[in-house]
Structure 1
Amino acid sequence: MTALPLRFETRGAIAILTLDRPDRRNAIDAATTAAMTDALARFEADPDLRVAVLRGEGPVFCAGMDLAAFADGQVEAVLFGPGGFAGLTEAARTKPLIAAVHGAALAGGFELALACDLIVAEEGARFGLPEVMRGLVAGGGGAARLASVIAPGRAREIILTGRMIDTAEAWDLGLIARRAPEGGVLDAALALAQEIARNAPLAVSASLGLSRAAERAGLPPLWAENAATLRQIMASEDATEGARAFLERRPPRWQGR
Protein backbone atom coordinates (compact mmCIF):
# COMPACT_ATOMS: atom_id res chain seq x y z
CA MET A 1 0.00 0.00 0.00
CA THR A 2 1.31 3.45 -0.94
CA ALA A 3 2.18 5.59 2.07
CA LEU A 4 0.17 8.78 2.46
CA PRO A 5 2.21 12.00 2.13
CA LEU A 6 0.36 13.59 5.07
CA ARG A 7 -0.94 11.94 8.25
CA PHE A 8 -4.02 13.20 10.09
CA GLU A 9 -4.26 12.35 13.78
CA THR A 10 -6.31 13.69 16.67
CA ARG A 11 -5.58 14.12 20.37
CA GLY A 12 -8.75 15.27 22.01
CA ALA A 13 -9.67 18.63 20.50
CA ILE A 14 -6.33 18.92 18.65
CA ALA A 15 -5.61 17.74 15.10
CA ILE A 16 -2.03 16.88 14.16
CA LEU A 17 -1.13 17.21 10.48
CA THR A 18 2.20 15.55 9.74
CA LEU A 19 4.04 16.00 6.47
CA ASP A 20 5.29 12.45 5.95
CA ARG A 21 7.86 12.43 3.16
CA PRO A 22 11.09 12.35 5.18
CA ASP A 23 13.03 10.82 2.27
CA ARG A 24 12.17 13.98 0.28
CA ARG A 25 12.70 16.35 3.24
CA ASN A 26 8.91 16.73 3.32
CA ALA A 27 9.04 18.61 0.03
CA ILE A 28 5.65 19.42 -1.46
CA ASP A 29 4.28 17.67 -4.55
CA ALA A 30 0.79 17.45 -6.03
CA ALA A 31 -0.22 14.48 -3.86
CA THR A 32 0.84 16.29 -0.69
CA THR A 33 -1.06 19.38 -1.83
CA ALA A 34 -4.23 17.35 -2.35
CA ALA A 35 -3.79 15.68 1.04
CA MET A 36 -3.31 19.06 2.74
CA THR A 37 -6.46 20.42 1.14
CA ASP A 38 -8.44 17.42 2.38
CA ALA A 39 -6.92 17.60 5.88
CA LEU A 40 -7.70 21.30 6.30
CA ALA A 41 -11.28 20.74 5.14
CA ARG A 42 -11.67 17.85 7.59
CA PHE A 43 -10.28 19.95 10.44
CA GLU A 44 -12.53 22.91 9.67
CA ALA A 45 -15.63 20.74 9.34
CA ASP A 46 -15.25 18.86 12.65
CA PRO A 47 -16.79 20.87 15.53
CA ASP A 48 -14.92 18.75 18.08
CA LEU A 49 -11.53 19.87 16.73
CA ARG A 50 -10.46 23.29 18.00
CA VAL A 51 -6.77 23.70 17.07
CA ALA A 52 -4.39 22.02 14.61
CA VAL A 53 -0.62 21.53 14.64
CA LEU A 54 1.36 21.21 11.41
CA ARG A 55 4.65 19.34 11.72
CA GLY A 56 7.15 17.40 9.61
CA GLU A 57 8.37 13.82 9.95
CA GLY A 58 12.11 13.20 9.93
CA PRO A 59 14.99 15.65 10.31
CA VAL A 60 13.34 18.79 8.86
CA PHE A 61 10.00 20.57 8.87
CA CYS A 62 9.80 21.16 5.10
CA ALA A 63 12.28 21.98 2.35
CA GLY A 64 9.73 23.63 0.05
CA MET A 65 8.51 22.46 -3.34
CA ASP A 66 9.73 19.09 -4.56
CA LEU A 67 12.09 19.69 -7.50
CA ALA A 68 11.06 16.33 -8.95
CA ALA A 69 7.46 17.52 -8.93
CA PHE A 70 8.58 20.72 -10.64
CA ALA A 71 10.30 18.71 -13.37
CA ASP A 72 7.27 16.42 -13.64
CA GLY A 73 4.91 19.26 -14.56
CA GLN A 74 3.11 19.55 -11.20
CA VAL A 75 3.64 23.31 -10.88
CA GLU A 76 0.01 24.28 -11.47
CA ALA A 77 -1.33 21.85 -8.87
CA VAL A 78 1.28 22.71 -6.24
CA LEU A 79 1.57 26.49 -6.65
CA PHE A 80 -1.61 27.73 -8.26
CA GLY A 81 -4.36 25.33 -7.19
CA PRO A 82 -7.12 25.97 -4.63
CA GLY A 83 -5.62 27.27 -1.39
CA GLY A 84 -2.39 28.42 -3.05
CA PHE A 85 0.96 26.72 -2.45
CA ALA A 86 0.50 23.27 -0.91
CA GLY A 87 -3.22 23.98 -0.54
CA LEU A 88 -2.45 26.12 2.54
CA THR A 89 -0.94 29.54 1.87
CA GLU A 90 -4.17 31.08 0.54
CA ALA A 91 -6.65 28.76 2.28
CA ALA A 92 -9.63 30.28 4.10
CA ARG A 93 -9.50 29.09 7.72
CA THR A 94 -11.40 29.92 10.90
CA LYS A 95 -9.52 27.80 13.45
CA PRO A 96 -5.97 28.27 14.79
CA LEU A 97 -3.16 26.41 13.05
CA ILE A 98 0.24 26.12 14.75
CA ALA A 99 3.47 25.31 12.88
CA ALA A 100 5.82 23.09 14.92
CA VAL A 101 9.19 23.74 13.27
CA HIS A 102 12.35 21.71 13.71
CA GLY A 103 15.38 21.35 11.48
CA ALA A 104 14.83 23.58 8.48
CA ALA A 105 11.84 25.49 7.13
CA LEU A 106 13.20 26.77 3.84
CA ALA A 107 11.62 28.38 0.77
CA GLY A 108 8.10 26.95 0.55
CA GLY A 109 8.63 25.31 3.93
CA PHE A 110 9.06 28.73 5.52
CA GLU A 111 6.01 29.92 3.58
CA LEU A 112 3.93 27.11 5.08
CA ALA A 113 5.03 28.16 8.57
CA LEU A 114 4.23 31.80 7.81
CA ALA A 115 0.77 30.79 6.60
CA CYS A 116 0.03 29.29 10.01
CA ASP A 117 -1.27 31.49 12.82
CA LEU A 118 1.51 30.71 15.29
CA ILE A 119 5.01 29.26 14.99
CA VAL A 120 6.67 27.17 17.69
CA ALA A 121 10.32 26.39 16.94
CA GLU A 122 12.90 24.28 18.67
CA GLU A 123 16.45 25.45 19.28
CA GLY A 124 18.60 25.00 16.21
CA ALA A 125 15.79 25.40 13.69
CA ARG A 126 16.55 27.42 10.57
CA PHE A 127 14.28 29.60 8.46
CA GLY A 128 14.97 31.09 5.05
CA LEU A 129 13.64 32.29 1.71
CA PRO A 130 16.57 31.53 -0.61
CA GLU A 131 14.57 31.99 -3.82
CA VAL A 132 16.54 35.05 -5.03
CA MET A 133 19.66 32.89 -4.94
CA ARG A 134 17.99 30.62 -7.50
CA GLY A 135 16.57 33.33 -9.76
CA LEU A 136 13.08 33.00 -8.28
CA VAL A 137 10.74 34.85 -5.91
CA ALA A 138 9.09 33.62 -2.71
CA GLY A 139 5.77 33.33 -4.52
CA GLY A 140 3.93 31.21 -1.97
CA GLY A 141 3.23 34.29 0.09
CA GLY A 142 6.64 34.50 1.73
CA ALA A 143 7.71 37.84 0.28
CA ALA A 144 4.39 39.45 1.18
CA ARG A 145 3.79 37.78 4.54
CA LEU A 146 7.20 38.17 6.13
CA ALA A 147 7.00 41.96 5.89
CA SER A 148 3.59 41.86 7.58
CA VAL A 149 4.75 39.94 10.66
CA ILE A 150 8.17 41.53 11.32
CA ALA A 151 9.61 44.98 10.67
CA PRO A 152 9.62 45.60 6.88
CA GLY A 153 13.29 46.60 6.80
CA ARG A 154 14.36 43.38 8.50
CA ALA A 155 12.02 41.38 6.29
CA ARG A 156 13.45 42.87 3.10
CA GLU A 157 17.00 42.17 4.27
CA ILE A 158 16.10 38.49 4.71
CA ILE A 159 14.12 38.29 1.44
CA LEU A 160 16.66 40.12 -0.73
CA THR A 161 19.76 38.34 0.60
CA GLY A 162 18.22 34.88 0.84
CA ARG A 163 20.11 34.24 4.08
CA MET A 164 18.89 31.89 6.81
CA ILE A 165 17.99 32.88 10.34
CA ASP A 166 18.03 30.62 13.39
CA THR A 167 15.57 30.17 16.26
CA ALA A 168 17.23 32.84 18.39
CA GLU A 169 17.04 35.49 15.68
CA ALA A 170 13.50 34.48 14.77
CA TRP A 171 12.55 34.93 18.43
CA ASP A 172 14.19 38.36 18.59
CA LEU A 173 12.29 39.38 15.45
CA GLY A 174 8.97 38.36 16.98
CA LEU A 175 8.45 35.74 14.30
CA ILE A 176 7.84 32.79 16.61
CA ALA A 177 5.40 32.47 19.51
CA ARG A 178 7.33 29.98 21.65
CA ARG A 179 10.73 28.32 21.75
CA ALA A 180 11.32 24.69 22.63
CA PRO A 181 14.41 22.69 23.52
CA GLU A 182 15.89 20.52 20.80
CA GLY A 183 13.59 17.55 20.23
CA GLY A 184 10.73 19.15 22.17
CA VAL A 185 8.89 21.16 19.54
CA LEU A 186 5.86 18.88 19.21
CA ASP A 187 5.29 18.81 22.96
CA ALA A 188 5.59 22.59 23.12
CA ALA A 189 3.20 23.05 20.20
CA LEU A 190 0.68 20.65 21.72
CA ALA A 191 0.88 22.46 25.06
CA LEU A 192 0.12 25.74 23.32
CA ALA A 193 -2.71 24.09 21.36
CA GLN A 194 -4.21 22.74 24.57
CA GLU A 195 -4.14 26.18 26.17
CA ILE A 196 -6.04 27.57 23.19
CA ALA A 197 -8.46 24.63 22.98
CA ARG A 198 -9.57 25.18 26.58
CA ASN A 199 -11.06 28.53 25.64
CA ALA A 200 -14.50 29.25 24.15
CA PRO A 201 -14.44 28.16 20.48
CA LEU A 202 -16.55 31.04 19.14
CA ALA A 203 -14.44 33.56 21.03
CA VAL A 204 -11.21 31.97 19.77
CA SER A 205 -12.44 32.00 16.17
CA ALA A 206 -13.62 35.60 16.42
CA SER A 207 -10.40 36.71 18.09
CA LEU A 208 -8.34 34.95 15.43
CA GLY A 209 -10.36 36.66 12.73
CA LEU A 210 -9.83 40.08 14.25
CA SER A 211 -6.11 39.47 14.71
CA ARG A 212 -5.86 38.62 11.01
CA ALA A 213 -8.03 41.51 9.81
CA ALA A 214 -5.10 43.52 8.46
CA GLU A 215 -3.74 40.48 6.62
CA ARG A 216 -7.16 39.71 5.15
CA ALA A 217 -7.48 43.30 3.95
CA GLY A 218 -3.97 43.45 2.50
CA LEU A 219 -3.19 40.03 1.05
CA PRO A 220 -6.17 38.99 -1.11
CA PRO A 221 -5.68 41.86 -3.60
CA LEU A 222 -2.02 40.84 -3.88
CA TRP A 223 -2.56 37.18 -4.75
CA ALA A 224 -3.25 37.83 -8.45
CA GLU A 225 -0.17 40.06 -8.74
CA ASN A 226 1.81 37.48 -6.76
CA ALA A 227 0.82 34.69 -9.16
CA ALA A 228 1.54 36.80 -12.26
CA THR A 229 4.96 37.81 -10.91
CA LEU A 230 5.82 34.23 -10.00
CA ARG A 231 4.86 32.94 -13.46
CA GLN A 232 6.93 35.67 -15.14
CA ILE A 233 10.02 35.01 -13.03
CA MET A 234 9.72 31.23 -13.41
CA ALA A 235 9.77 31.70 -17.19
CA SER A 236 12.96 33.81 -17.13
CA GLU A 237 16.39 32.72 -18.29
CA ASP A 238 17.76 33.54 -14.85
CA ALA A 239 15.37 31.06 -13.21
CA THR A 240 16.60 28.33 -15.55
CA GLU A 241 20.20 29.30 -14.84
CA GLY A 242 19.57 29.33 -11.10
CA ALA A 243 18.24 25.78 -11.14
CA ARG A 244 21.05 24.58 -13.39
CA ALA A 245 23.73 26.21 -11.25
CA PHE A 246 22.23 24.71 -8.09
CA LEU A 247 22.25 21.21 -9.58
CA GLU A 248 25.77 21.69 -10.95
CA ARG A 249 26.98 23.18 -7.63
CA ARG A 250 28.49 26.30 -9.17
CA PRO A 251 27.87 30.05 -8.89
CA PRO A 252 25.06 31.20 -11.22
CA ARG A 253 25.76 33.51 -14.14
CA TRP A 254 22.87 35.99 -14.09
CA GLN A 255 21.77 37.72 -17.28
CA GLY A 256 18.90 39.82 -15.95
CA ARG A 257 16.43 38.33 -18.40
Structure 2
Amino acid sequence: MNHAAEVRTETFGTSLLITIDRPAARNAVNAAVATGLAAALDELETDPALRAGVLTGAQGTFSAGMDLKAALAGESPEIPGRGFGGLAQAETTKPLVAAVEGWAMGGGFELALSCDLIVAAENAAFGLPEAKRGLIAAGGGVIRLPKRIPHHLAMELLLTGEPISGERAGRLGIANRVVPAGEATAAALQLAEQLAANAPLALAAVKKIVRVADGAPESQAFAAQAREMAALTASADVREGMTAFAERRTPVWQGK
Protein backbone atom coordinates (compact mmCIF):
# COMPACT_ATOMS: atom_id res chain seq x y z
CA MET A 1 0.00 0.00 0.00
CA ASN A 2 1.31 3.44 -0.91
CA HIS A 3 0.28 6.45 1.14
CA ALA A 4 0.42 10.00 -0.09
CA ALA A 5 -1.36 12.44 2.14
CA GLU A 6 -4.12 13.14 -0.42
CA VAL A 7 -4.18 10.05 -2.65
CA ARG A 8 -3.72 6.44 -1.48
CA THR A 9 -3.14 3.37 -3.62
CA GLU A 10 -3.69 -0.23 -2.62
CA THR A 11 -3.33 -3.43 -4.66
CA PHE A 12 -6.10 -6.04 -4.82
CA GLY A 13 -4.92 -8.94 -6.98
CA THR A 14 -4.21 -7.37 -10.38
CA SER A 15 -6.18 -4.20 -9.63
CA LEU A 16 -4.98 -0.89 -8.19
CA LEU A 17 -7.46 0.86 -5.91
CA ILE A 18 -6.85 4.63 -6.06
CA THR A 19 -8.53 6.62 -3.27
CA ILE A 20 -8.79 10.40 -3.06
CA ASP A 21 -8.30 10.95 0.66
CA ARG A 22 -9.33 14.47 1.69
CA PRO A 23 -12.59 13.68 3.50
CA ALA A 24 -12.53 16.95 5.47
CA ALA A 25 -12.73 18.77 2.12
CA ARG A 26 -15.18 16.21 0.64
CA ASN A 27 -12.28 14.94 -1.49
CA ALA A 28 -12.12 18.18 -3.46
CA VAL A 29 -9.31 18.38 -6.01
CA ASN A 30 -6.43 20.73 -5.23
CA ALA A 31 -2.88 20.70 -6.65
CA ALA A 32 -1.78 17.92 -4.26
CA VAL A 33 -4.68 15.66 -5.27
CA ALA A 34 -3.95 16.26 -8.98
CA THR A 35 -0.27 15.39 -8.43
CA GLY A 36 -1.23 12.32 -6.38
CA LEU A 37 -3.69 11.07 -9.01
CA ALA A 38 -1.11 11.53 -11.78
CA ALA A 39 1.41 9.50 -9.72
CA ALA A 40 -1.18 6.77 -9.05
CA LEU A 41 -1.97 6.52 -12.78
CA ASP A 42 1.76 6.23 -13.50
CA GLU A 43 1.93 3.38 -10.97
CA LEU A 44 -0.97 1.63 -12.73
CA GLU A 45 0.56 2.14 -16.18
CA THR A 46 4.12 1.07 -15.34
CA ASP A 47 3.51 -1.98 -13.11
CA PRO A 48 3.12 -5.00 -15.45
CA ALA A 49 1.39 -6.98 -12.68
CA LEU A 50 -1.49 -4.47 -12.63
CA ARG A 51 -4.27 -4.92 -15.18
CA ALA A 52 -6.94 -2.39 -14.17
CA GLY A 53 -7.57 0.53 -11.82
CA VAL A 54 -10.47 1.56 -9.59
CA LEU A 55 -10.87 5.22 -8.63
CA THR A 56 -12.87 6.17 -5.54
CA GLY A 57 -13.08 8.70 -2.72
CA ALA A 58 -12.61 8.20 1.03
CA GLN A 59 -15.41 8.04 3.58
CA GLY A 60 -18.48 7.84 1.38
CA THR A 61 -17.84 10.78 -0.97
CA PHE A 62 -16.35 10.43 -4.45
CA SER A 63 -15.31 14.07 -4.95
CA ALA A 64 -16.91 17.49 -4.56
CA GLY A 65 -14.88 18.67 -7.56
CA MET A 66 -12.42 21.52 -7.82
CA ASP A 67 -11.27 22.94 -4.48
CA LEU A 68 -12.52 26.50 -4.95
CA LYS A 69 -10.60 27.84 -1.92
CA ALA A 70 -7.34 26.42 -3.28
CA ALA A 71 -8.15 27.77 -6.75
CA LEU A 72 -8.83 31.24 -5.33
CA ALA A 73 -5.46 31.02 -3.57
CA GLY A 74 -3.82 30.43 -6.96
CA GLU A 75 -3.42 26.64 -6.88
CA SER A 76 -4.01 24.74 -10.11
CA PRO A 77 -5.98 21.47 -10.05
CA GLU A 78 -4.55 20.63 -13.49
CA ILE A 79 -1.43 18.75 -14.60
CA PRO A 80 0.06 19.93 -17.92
CA GLY A 81 -0.81 17.45 -20.66
CA ARG A 82 -3.12 15.47 -18.35
CA GLY A 83 -5.77 18.03 -17.56
CA PHE A 84 -8.00 18.37 -14.50
CA GLY A 85 -7.01 16.14 -11.58
CA GLY A 86 -4.16 14.68 -13.62
CA LEU A 87 -6.77 12.46 -15.29
CA ALA A 88 -9.29 14.34 -17.48
CA GLN A 89 -7.00 14.42 -20.53
CA ALA A 90 -4.62 11.57 -19.62
CA GLU A 91 -4.32 8.81 -22.21
CA THR A 92 -4.13 5.58 -20.21
CA THR A 93 -3.80 2.07 -21.67
CA LYS A 94 -5.32 0.12 -18.77
CA PRO A 95 -9.05 0.11 -17.93
CA LEU A 96 -10.15 2.46 -15.17
CA VAL A 97 -13.40 1.99 -13.23
CA ALA A 98 -14.95 4.79 -11.14
CA ALA A 99 -16.57 3.66 -7.87
CA VAL A 100 -18.92 6.49 -6.91
CA GLU A 101 -20.41 6.86 -3.45
CA GLY A 102 -22.01 10.12 -2.33
CA TRP A 103 -21.20 13.32 -4.19
CA ALA A 104 -19.57 13.37 -7.64
CA MET A 105 -19.99 17.06 -8.31
CA GLY A 106 -18.41 19.26 -10.97
CA GLY A 107 -14.84 18.08 -11.38
CA GLY A 108 -15.73 14.96 -9.38
CA PHE A 109 -18.30 13.99 -12.03
CA GLU A 110 -15.72 14.84 -14.69
CA LEU A 111 -13.16 12.48 -13.09
CA ALA A 112 -15.80 9.72 -13.27
CA LEU A 113 -16.47 10.59 -16.93
CA SER A 114 -12.72 10.21 -17.56
CA CYS A 115 -12.93 6.56 -16.48
CA ASP A 116 -13.91 3.72 -18.84
CA LEU A 117 -16.68 2.36 -16.64
CA ILE A 118 -18.69 3.77 -13.75
CA VAL A 119 -20.17 1.90 -10.77
CA ALA A 120 -22.54 4.06 -8.73
CA ALA A 121 -24.20 3.67 -5.37
CA GLU A 122 -27.95 4.17 -5.87
CA ASN A 123 -27.88 7.22 -3.56
CA ALA A 124 -24.83 8.81 -5.24
CA ALA A 125 -25.28 12.32 -6.63
CA PHE A 126 -23.86 13.32 -10.02
CA GLY A 127 -23.97 17.00 -10.95
CA LEU A 128 -22.27 19.72 -12.97
CA PRO A 129 -23.15 22.89 -11.00
CA GLU A 130 -20.52 25.13 -12.67
CA ALA A 131 -23.11 27.39 -14.34
CA LYS A 132 -24.36 28.32 -10.85
CA ARG A 133 -20.87 29.73 -10.09
CA GLY A 134 -20.41 31.58 -13.38
CA LEU A 135 -18.26 28.79 -14.85
CA ILE A 136 -18.67 25.84 -17.21
CA ALA A 137 -17.72 22.19 -16.70
CA ALA A 138 -14.35 22.60 -18.45
CA GLY A 139 -12.75 19.37 -17.18
CA GLY A 140 -14.51 17.36 -19.87
CA GLY A 141 -18.14 17.77 -18.75
CA VAL A 142 -19.32 20.07 -21.56
CA ILE A 143 -17.37 18.07 -24.16
CA ARG A 144 -18.02 14.49 -23.01
CA LEU A 145 -21.49 14.36 -21.46
CA PRO A 146 -23.39 15.17 -24.71
CA LYS A 147 -21.52 12.29 -26.40
CA ARG A 148 -22.42 9.84 -23.67
CA ILE A 149 -26.14 10.47 -23.16
CA PRO A 150 -28.95 12.00 -25.28
CA HIS A 151 -28.41 15.69 -26.14
CA HIS A 152 -31.36 17.17 -24.24
CA LEU A 153 -30.58 15.23 -21.06
CA ALA A 154 -26.95 16.37 -21.16
CA MET A 155 -28.08 19.95 -21.71
CA GLU A 156 -30.42 19.69 -18.72
CA LEU A 157 -27.53 18.70 -16.44
CA LEU A 158 -25.16 21.32 -17.90
CA LEU A 159 -27.64 24.22 -17.98
CA THR A 160 -29.57 23.65 -14.72
CA GLY A 161 -26.57 22.51 -12.67
CA GLU A 162 -28.94 20.24 -10.73
CA PRO A 163 -27.69 16.82 -9.59
CA ILE A 164 -29.17 13.41 -10.41
CA SER A 165 -29.09 10.25 -8.29
CA GLY A 166 -26.94 7.19 -8.96
CA GLU A 167 -30.16 5.35 -9.71
CA ARG A 168 -31.09 7.87 -12.45
CA ALA A 169 -27.48 7.86 -13.70
CA GLY A 170 -27.93 4.13 -14.30
CA ARG A 171 -31.16 4.67 -16.23
CA LEU A 172 -29.49 7.33 -18.42
CA GLY A 173 -26.55 5.06 -19.19
CA ILE A 174 -23.98 7.11 -17.25
CA ALA A 175 -23.38 4.24 -14.81
CA ASN A 176 -22.69 0.63 -15.84
CA ARG A 177 -23.79 -0.78 -12.49
CA VAL A 178 -25.95 0.69 -9.73
CA VAL A 179 -25.47 -0.93 -6.32
CA PRO A 180 -26.67 -0.37 -2.74
CA ALA A 181 -24.90 2.38 -0.75
CA GLY A 182 -21.50 1.30 0.53
CA GLU A 183 -20.98 -1.39 -2.14
CA ALA A 184 -19.59 0.63 -5.08
CA THR A 185 -15.90 -0.10 -4.44
CA ALA A 186 -16.43 -3.85 -3.99
CA ALA A 187 -18.53 -3.99 -7.18
CA ALA A 188 -15.95 -1.91 -9.10
CA LEU A 189 -13.10 -4.20 -7.96
CA GLN A 190 -15.16 -7.20 -9.11
CA LEU A 191 -15.66 -5.54 -12.52
CA ALA A 192 -11.92 -4.73 -12.71
CA GLU A 193 -11.15 -8.40 -12.02
CA GLN A 194 -13.47 -9.40 -14.86
CA LEU A 195 -11.65 -7.00 -17.23
CA ALA A 196 -8.28 -8.37 -16.07
CA ALA A 197 -9.21 -11.82 -17.38
CA ASN A 198 -8.91 -10.41 -20.92
CA ALA A 199 -5.72 -9.78 -22.88
CA PRO A 200 -4.01 -6.54 -21.75
CA LEU A 201 -2.86 -5.65 -25.28
CA ALA A 202 -6.42 -6.08 -26.57
CA LEU A 203 -7.83 -3.87 -23.80
CA ALA A 204 -5.23 -1.18 -24.58
CA ALA A 205 -6.06 -1.43 -28.31
CA VAL A 206 -9.80 -1.04 -27.64
CA LYS A 207 -9.14 2.10 -25.57
CA LYS A 208 -6.81 3.57 -28.20
CA ILE A 209 -9.16 2.95 -31.15
CA VAL A 210 -12.20 4.29 -29.29
CA ARG A 211 -10.19 7.45 -28.53
CA VAL A 212 -8.94 7.85 -32.12
CA ALA A 213 -12.36 7.12 -33.66
CA ASP A 214 -14.09 9.77 -31.52
CA GLY A 215 -15.01 12.46 -34.04
CA ALA A 216 -12.69 11.09 -36.76
CA PRO A 217 -13.96 10.11 -40.23
CA GLU A 218 -14.57 6.35 -40.51
CA SER A 219 -11.77 5.90 -43.04
CA GLN A 220 -9.28 7.43 -40.59
CA ALA A 221 -10.62 5.29 -37.73
CA PHE A 222 -10.32 2.08 -39.78
CA ALA A 223 -6.76 3.01 -40.81
CA ALA A 224 -5.80 3.49 -37.14
CA GLN A 225 -7.53 0.22 -36.29
CA ALA A 226 -5.58 -1.63 -39.02
CA ARG A 227 -2.31 -0.53 -37.38
CA GLU A 228 -3.49 -1.78 -33.99
CA MET A 229 -4.69 -5.07 -35.47
CA ALA A 230 -1.32 -5.67 -37.15
CA ALA A 231 0.42 -5.25 -33.80
CA LEU A 232 -2.11 -7.49 -32.02
CA THR A 233 -1.95 -10.33 -34.55
CA ALA A 234 1.86 -10.33 -34.27
CA SER A 235 1.71 -10.62 -30.46
CA ALA A 236 2.41 -13.72 -28.41
CA ASP A 237 -0.84 -13.12 -26.51
CA VAL A 238 -3.05 -13.57 -29.59
CA ARG A 239 -1.46 -16.99 -30.23
CA GLU A 240 -1.94 -17.84 -26.54
CA GLY A 241 -5.58 -16.74 -26.67
CA MET A 242 -6.33 -18.96 -29.68
CA THR A 243 -4.33 -21.91 -28.31
CA ALA A 244 -6.06 -21.67 -24.92
CA PHE A 245 -9.46 -21.61 -26.65
CA ALA A 246 -8.56 -24.70 -28.70
CA GLU A 247 -7.24 -26.46 -25.61
CA ARG A 248 -10.25 -25.39 -23.52
CA ARG A 249 -8.14 -23.76 -20.82
CA THR A 250 -7.77 -20.27 -19.32
CA PRO A 251 -5.21 -18.16 -21.21
CA VAL A 252 -2.08 -16.95 -19.44
CA TRP A 253 -1.41 -13.43 -20.73
CA GLN A 254 2.12 -12.03 -21.00
CA GLY A 255 1.15 -8.55 -22.18
CA LYS A 256 3.38 -8.91 -25.25
Higher-Rg structure is 2
Question: SS of the counterpart of 1:175?
Answer: coil
1:48 aligned counterpart, secondary structure: coil
Deviation at 1:13, TM superposition (A): 0.7
CA RMSD after TM alignment: 1.7
Amino acid paired to 2:14: A
Specify the SS of the correspondent of 2:119.
strand
User: What is the CA-CA distance between 1:217 and the residue it aligns to?
Assistant: 4.6
Instruction: Find the counterpart in structure 2 of residue 18 from structure 1.
Output: 19
What is the distance in 2 between the residues matched to 1:104 and 1:70?
20
1:217–1:31 CA distance, 2 compared to 1 (3 A): farther
**1:43 paired residue number:** 44
What is residue 248 of structure 1 aligned with on the other side? Answer: none
Listed as ranges, the gaps of 5+ residues in structure 2 are 218-256
Q: 1:170 to 1:181 in 2, by over 3 A?
A: same
Describe the SS at the equivalent of 1:116.
coil
The answer for unaligned runs of 5 or more in structure 1 is: 219-257
- d(CA) in 2 for partners of 1:3, 1:201: 28
* Partner deviation per Cα, 1:128-165 (whole Å, 9 max, x = no partner): 00000111110111111101111122111110111111
1:65-144 map, 5 Å:
65-75=66-76, 78-79=77-78, 81-144=80-143
Matching residue of 2:161: 162
Residues in 2 aligned to 1:49 and 1:105: alpha-carbon distance in whole angstroms: 26
Cα pair distance change 1:19/1:115, threshold 3 Å: same
TM-score by length of 2: 0.80
Alpha-carbon contact 1:79-1:140 (below 8 Å) kept? no
Task: Note the 1:232-243 alignment, pairs <5 A.
Answer: none
**Distance (whole Å) between structure 1 residues aligned to residue 78 and residue 36 of structure 2:** 14
**Superimposed CA distance per residue, residues 71-106 of structure 1 (whole angstroms, 9 cap, x where no aligned partner):** 22013xx13633000110001111100000000100
Distance 1:71 1:45 in 2: 34
**In the aligned structure 1, how far is the partner of 2:215 from the partner of 2:86?**
17
Q: Secondary structure at 2:60's aligned position in 1?
A: coil
Per the TM alignment, residue 3 of structure 1 is displaced from its structure 2 partner at its CA by: 5.8
Aligned to 2:241: none
Q: In 2, Cα distance between the equivalents of 1:90 and 1:9?
A: 23
Distance apart, 1:212 and its partner CA:
3.5
Percent identity, aligned pairs only, is: 48
1:1-24, CA deviations, whole angstroms, 9 ceiling, x for partnerless residues?
Answer: x96100011111100100000011
Q: How does 1:55-74 map to 2 (within 5 A)?
A: 55-74=56-75
Give secondary structure in 1 for the equivalent of 2:143.
Answer: helix
Deviation, 1:37, is 1.0
